[in-house]
Amino acid sequence: MSFPPTLKQLRYLVALHKTHHFGKAAEASHVTQSTLSAGIQELENLLGAQLVERTKRSVMFTSLGNDVVQRAQGVLNEIHDLTDMAEAAKDPLRGTIRVGVIPTIAPYLLPKIIPAISQDLPHLDLHLREDKSAELCDLLRAGDLDVVLLALPFECGNVHDMPLFSDQFIAVYPKGEAPGTQISTDDLDENKLLLLDEGHCLRDHALSACQLLGQGSQRALANTSLATILPMVAAGRGMTLLPGMALDAGITENMAVDIATFKDSTPTRMIGLVWRPTNPRAATFEALGAAIKSSATSS
């Protein structure tokens, strides 16, 4: 090999691996399809090995191709972190941060904290993306996000985590069916419990916090949200557990439901930030975390 692969070639290969479609990869890379295809062909010629199996209907990566993509993503992450390091050296509280937020936090917390963050950190430009925890962690590892706001614990790979504050769970029953305004976890009936599907970490956190196994209930609701579970509760189809931030945001207003808090040991989930330990902008993320904590916990 007379000269090393170019960053452009590696970006093209990673983009193709993400989309498995030459047209979509070219669009994501802001080049023509022929340019992207030629770049990947040049990379294969340079390495002297086939990385991609091309057919009219599909794109598949060879075993070596998958290995090269993994290494290429690491190289591109290092380049991105190098750029971030230079930016952070100029001013850690200035610049763009790509933030992932999970769906059981975003609609309830962001309206409260964004104005405060804009005031406390006016030179930070937040680019927000909402998705499930696993998808956001994939994007974080791939270098497409800088930091993720989620509920801990969550297996996100090799990350640094910054716990921020606890979010208490609240029990919600159909009108007139709550066993009291204050209950214990022993009062919960798993067979009546409505939860999000297993792709949402809120399900696991709620079951764990309430010391439930999740075996008694098959009431997981696929492809839905807390806002769509509540009408089912109001209709008498079961009860659910809400994060306190959702209740504070008014999600149960005008709903025919009763609210019960937990006495004694209150089940909670921990809200926190995670980022790659190699990212040099730790000071920026810590300042962002401090601003989130301050605004989220203020009355």
Report the alpha-carbon distance of residue 225 to residue 258 in Å, rounded. 19
- State what percent of residues in the chain have pLDDT above 90: 65
Write down the pLDDT at residue 199.
61
The overall average pLDDT reported for the chain is: 89
Write down the pLDDT at residue 216.
47
Question: Where are the extended beta strands (E) located within 42-159?
Answer: 52-54, 59-61, 95-101, 124-130, 147-152
Across residues 101-105, what is the average pLDDT?
95
Answer whether residue 218 shows pLDDT above 50.
no
115-124, 152-161, 171-180, 213-222: which range is least confident on average?
213-222
Buried-exposed string 90-115: b where 16+ CB fall within 10 A, e elsewhere: eebeebebbbbbbbbbbbbbbeebee
> pLDDT, tens digit, for every residue of 36-74?
999 999 999 999 999 999 887 789 999 999 999 989 988
pLDDT bucket at 88, cuts 50 / 70 / 90 = low
Answer whether residue 219 shows pLDDT above 70.
no
Buried-exposed string 116-129: b where 16+ CB fall within 10 A, e elsewhere: ebeebbeebebeee
DSSP lists the bridge partners of residue 183 as 262
- In order of start, what are the domains of the chain with their CATH numbers? 7-77 (1.10.10.10), 86-164+270-297 (3.40.190.10), 166-269 (3.40.190.10)
Strands 257-262, 182-183: pairing kind: parallel
DSSP 102: -
> pLDDT, tens digit, for every residue of 225-267?
888 899 999 999 999 999 999 999 999 999 999 999 998 778 9
Model confidence, pTM: 0.74
The winner for highest mean pLDDT among 75-89, 90-104, 222-236 is 90-104
19-23, 75-79, 176-180, 247-251: which range is least confident on average?
75-79
